[in-house]
Amino acid sequence: MLILGIESSCDETGVALVEFDPGAAALPRLCAQGLHTQIDMHRAYGGVVPELASRDHIRRVVPLVRQVMDECGGALSSVDVVAYTAGPGLAGALLVGAGAAQALAVALGKPVLPVHHLEGHLLSPFLSADPPEFPFVALLVSGGHTQLMRVEGVGRYALLGESIDDAAGEAFDKCAKLIGLDYPGGAALSRLAQQGRADAFAFARPLLHSGDLDFSFAGLKTSVATQVRKLQSVQPDAAHGALTEVQRADVAASTQAAIVDVLVRKSEAALKRTGLRRLVVAGGVGANSELRAQLNAACERLKARVHYPELALCTDNGAMIALAAAMRLHSGVESPVPAGAFEVRPRWPLMVGMPQPLA
């Protein structure tokens, strides 16, 4: 069975084709994928502009479908199910992907399957060279979400903790902006951090000792902003109060250290609380090398296994959407529905028993 997946929740247009055998135990296989990122377009505005994102998805989705099918050497008529991201995400961007998927399915006479964006991230490590096994604790760390989940199987998710304000990815981006880094700031901050001292500044680590598994990163931004103003105040002759390169690197390294510390400590607590010995890390922030190094060390101490998606699958992509659809179909959790009327869900919590069928 061939599943075509379309992702358009924010600023990446992704299309992929995944194959699986409904009667076999083998995991789905990625046949081909295509991805276009809008980073260069949004950089001039310092962040994602929803209307521009939607328009660019319109331009990119059909050529990416053609690219993926050409790479596989198959015809569109061979696709059995068209899956698409139904939420959460930017409403206009989601509508582009959903509309393209529905139109394609109607033209082919094939069914569709709406997919939860975060479930795509959650299951993406199953496409890696070292796929996990159920059950496990999942750390979802993307631009807009930071969550810890207990995962018993496909569609069987229990929320253990989540961010009550800024997500880890947002903290990276906002703190990067404070020291003058261009959008997208998170990746730039991580690169700059390699040149700085992680112990240069003792930035806030909110909720680190809260006793629960929730996260809070808004206070970290305030802590970083306060320190930046202090540094600027003692060098009034610098252009616009700019920090020196050494100061910027130290702020970046100390910021990253605070975020990683919280993520690692909470993940350790989740493993201990659940008694599980397997951790899955997914989402864009999961590509951070320092986070991976410290999680590896923490799991080694706990005698636990940790799994990551391939770096190319950490960002938003069509492969994770096609995979999530395939795994839901393979496990019998969900069946595809006829193409036709549809809706998207810009806000859609990933909870136990989700996703509920879209109307």
Structure-block tokens of residue 103: 């139109």
Q: Under DSSP, is residue 40 helix (H, G, I), strand (E, B) or coil?
A: helix
Give pLDDT tens digits for 122-144.
Answer: 999 999 999 999 999 999 998 88
Q: Is the per-residue pLDDT at 304 higher than 50?
A: yes
Please list, in sequence order, all residues whose beta carbon lies within 8 angstroms of the beta carbon of residue 127, skipping any fewer than 6 positions away: 27, 28, 30, 309, 310, 313, 319, 320, 323
> Cβ of 71: how many Cβ atoms within 10 Å?
13
CA neighbor of 104 nearest in space, from 124, 129, 75: 75
Architecture (CATH level 2) of domain 134-308: 2-Layer Sandwich (3.30)
Token pair of 268, please?
Answer: 């350790």
pLDDT band for position 355 (cuts 50, 70, 90): very low
Domain boundaries of the chain, sorted by first residue: 2-124+314-331, 134-308
Q: Which residues lie below 8 Å from residue 6, measured CB to CB, with a gap of 6+? A: 14, 15, 61, 65, 82, 83, 84, 85, 97, 100, 101, 318, 321
Q: CA angle 20-307-12, nearest 5°?
A: 65
pLDDT tens digit sequence for 87-120: 999 999 999 999 999 999 999 999 999 999 999 9
**Mean residue pLDDT across the chain:** 93
The CATH superfamily label for domain 2-124+314-331 reads: ATPase, nucleotide binding domain (3.30.420.40)
Supply the pLDDT for residue 23: 86
Q: Which range (81-90, 164-173, 216-225, 335-344) has the least confidence?
A: 335-344
- Residue 117 has φ and ψ, to the nearest 5°, of -55, -45
Predicted pLDDT of residue 240? 47
Position 359 scores a pLDDT of 41
Single-letter amino acid code for the residue at 24: A
* pLDDT tens digits, one per residue of 67-83: 999 999 989 999 999 99
User: What pLDDT, on a 0 to 100 scale, did the predictor assign at position 354?
Assistant: 47
Token pair 């305030």: residue: 222
* pLDDT at position 298: 98
**What would the mean pLDDT of 192-217 be, rounded to a whole number?**
96
Q: What is the mean pLDDT of residues 37-53?
A: 95
The one-letter amino acid code at 314 reads C
pLDDT value at residue 66: 98
Chain segment 248-262, per-residue pLDDT in tens? 999 999 999 999 999
Q: What are phi and psi of 123, to 5 degrees?
A: -95, -10
Number of alpha carbons in the 13 Å side-chain half-sphere of residue 296? 9
Which percentage of the chain shows pLDDT scores above 70? 96
Residues 314 and 286 sit within 8 Å (Cβ to Cβ): yes
Question: What are the backbone angles phi and psi of residue 270, rounded to the nearest 5°?
Answer: -65, -40
Q: What is the pLDDT of residue 142?
A: 85
Asked if 108 and 79 touch (Cβ cutoff 8 Å), the reply is yes
Written as six digits, the tokens of 216 are: 């809070």
